[in-house]
Structures are given as structure tokens and as C-alpha cells.
């Protein structure tokens, strides 16, 4: 039983959906929380501001939103000493990080699941002075996020990601990079660099077996020009897609400290948000933020 908690609802959702989400969750939350305050976020960055300024006032912060809302909440809480646990309820387009935490995607079930769950620490990636939970990347992945048409997103929802990715694949071009992983240096060309902490992207589980959320390391995938066709197969696959690690089209590394430079500044996608450029320095932070997750 929590003494008090704050429920943050993404204000970008229309009023009827906000009301529906509150009705689906509030009754369950009140069974586990003595005092529940509900706040609607008003603008981009508001979730981060509230978590940073009010985080220490609550025993639990709960958010209803997508990966962008998670990204804001984590960046607000990460700067606090002893931040409260964060509970994530899916309310966005893809909800990839909640999928990585095995949180049900139906809102009522998700609420029951986390409120009867447990506290777990997972790795958080620190990129320069910011944080990400699911991934950061450059090249194809950043271009895909940048090219998503708002009209597509409104009409197609999560499928807008696949539409943009398939379109971006046709115009992607290699870039030069220098990557240093725990002191090991790689200089090469690629069409995409993905530094993954979570294991879902665009609602699909990534076809890599190495990704563990609390192993203290990030997984780095270097995709060359030949790997672009493999990504197309992955996006279009109807059945679970298996990646053959013996192929050289996609190379995999693991590490705790990563330095990334490119021949010219490139946009960096962090959890679907684009506001940074290379060069970047990335370190894995363990036990940074406690999460309320379903029991295993």
C-alpha cells in the first residue's frame, strides 16, 4: 500500500480518451494507494518538469503515455537522489518500453499487473547529460523517426513507423563513424547504429537474443549497407524473424562506456525523440530508477 502517488496523464490525448483512461485505472489504483493525485500534462516537457520538481513529494509516480512520455519521466526522475518508483501504463503509439517490461498493453490489465507487481531496477543509458531507457541510434533509425508524417501517425498509429521505415530504406545512404566501446575502437561505414537497452522497436520484438535489461551493458548493433535488406525482411515478416549472427551484415557488440563520432554532425534518436547530434558519450547506469513492473 502506497501512502500517496501521482498519476500523470498525457495531455496531448483528446479529452474523451483522457477520461476513459482515468476511468479504466483510477478504481484499481485507489485499492493500492491511500491518496492519489491526478495531473494532466500541458505541454512537451511538462512530464519531465513535474517529475523533477515534485518527484520527492510522492512514494510513487505513475504515467499513462507512450515512449515519449516515458522518456520525459525518466529524465525528470534521473536527476533526483533516491527517486520514487515509476509505474508505466501504455497510452501511446508503440509503447515499446512497456512491452520490454512485459506490461500488458490493455490499460486495465496493465494497471492490475503493475500494482500487484514488484520493484525492479533496470539499466538506463546516459547520453551526454540526458537519459534513455529503450534505445538511441543514428542513421536509418533517426531518419525513420524524423520522416514519420503526422497525418500517417494519426490515421495509422503504430503502422506509421513501418511506413516511414520502408520509405526511408529506399533513400538511406552510408555514413562514416568512429565508435569506441570500453576502449575498443571501430572506424567504419554503416547505414545505422543502434544502441539498445530495451528489446522492442515499433511494437516488434528485436530478433536478437543478447538484450537483457539489467546486465549493466548496452547492446550495440552496426548495420552496413547489406544489412538494410535484412531490416526490410524484418519489417515485412509476418512470423517471428530470426537473425543469423554468423552473417556480417549486422555486427553486435556489448559495452558499458561508448563514444560515438561521425564525420559530420548527425541527428541522434533517443527513445523516438530527436533533439541531439553527434558526437555523443554514452554510459550505462545501473540502479538509477526503480520501476514498478509485473511480477515474473
User: What distance in Å separates the CA atoms of residue 180 and residue 217, rounded to the nearest whole number?
Assistant: 14
Give the residue numbers marked as catalytic.
273
User: What distance in Å separates the CA atoms of residue 127 and residue 197, rounded to the nearest whole number?
Assistant: 12
- In Å, how far are 6, 35, 59, 116, 215 from 2, measured between CA atoms? 11, 8, 6, 12, 29
Q: What length is written for the chain? A: 296
Burial of 129 (0-12, 13-18, 19+ CB in 10 A): exposed
Q: Read out DSSP for 263-291?
A: SS--EEEETTEEEEESSEEEEEESSSSEE
User: What distance in Å separates the CA atoms of residue 8 and residue 50, rounded to the nearest whole number?
Assistant: 9
All cell numbers assigned to 3? 501512502
Contact 57, 81 (CB under 8 A): no
Amino acid at each position: 500500500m502506497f501512502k500517496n502517488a501521482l498519476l500523470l496523464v498525457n495531455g496531448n490525448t483528446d479529452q474523451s480518451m483522457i477520461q476513459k483512461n482515468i476511468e479504466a485505472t483510477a478504481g484499481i489504483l485507489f485499492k493500492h494507494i491511500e491518496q492519489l493525485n491526478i495531473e494532466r500534462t500541458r505541454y512537451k516537457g511538462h512530464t519531465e518538469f513535474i517529475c523533477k520538481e515534485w518527484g520527492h513529494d510522492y512514494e510513487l509516480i505513475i504515467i499513462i503515455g507512450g515512449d515519449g512520455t516515458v522518456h520525459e519521466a525518466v529524465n525528470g526522475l534521473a536527476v533526483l537522489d533516491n527517486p520514487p518508483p515509476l509505474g508505466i501504463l501504455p497510452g501511446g503509439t508503440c509503447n515499446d518500453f512497456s512491452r520490454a517490461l512485459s506490461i500488458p498493453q490493455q490499460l486495465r490489465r496493465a494497471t492490475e499487473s503493475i500494482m500487484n507487481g514488484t520493484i525492479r531496477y533496470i539499466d538506463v543509458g546516459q547520453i551526454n547529460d540526458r537519459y534513455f531507457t529503450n534505445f538511441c541510434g543514428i542513421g536509418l533509425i533517426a531518419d525513420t523517426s524524423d520522416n514519420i508524417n503526422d497525418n500517417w501517425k494519426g490515421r495509422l498509429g503504430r503502422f506509421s513507423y513501418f511506413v516511414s521505415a520502408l520509405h526511408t530504406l529506399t533513400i538511406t545512404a552510408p555514413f562514416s563513424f568512429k565508435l569506441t566501446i570500453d576502449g575498443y575502437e571501430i572506424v567504419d561505414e554503416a547505414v545505422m547504429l543502434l544502441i539498445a537497452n530495451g528489446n522492442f522497436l515499433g511494437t516488434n520484438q528485436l530478433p536478437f537474443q543478447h538484450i537483457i535489461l539489467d546486465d549493466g551493458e548496452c547492446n550495440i548493433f552496426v548495420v552496413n549497407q547489406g544489412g538494410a535488406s535484412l531490416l526490410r525482411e524484418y519489417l515485412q515478416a509476418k512470423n517471428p524473424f530470426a537473425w543469423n549472427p554468423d552473417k556480417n551484415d549486422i555486427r553486435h557488440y556489448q559495452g558499458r562506456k561508448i563514444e560515438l563520432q561521425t564525420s559530420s554532425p548527425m541527428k541522434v534518436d533517443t527513445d523516438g525523440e530527436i533533439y541531439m547530434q553527434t558526437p555523443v558519450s554514452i554510459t550505462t547506469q545501473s540502479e538509477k530508477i526503480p520501476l514498478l513492473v509485473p511480477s515474473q
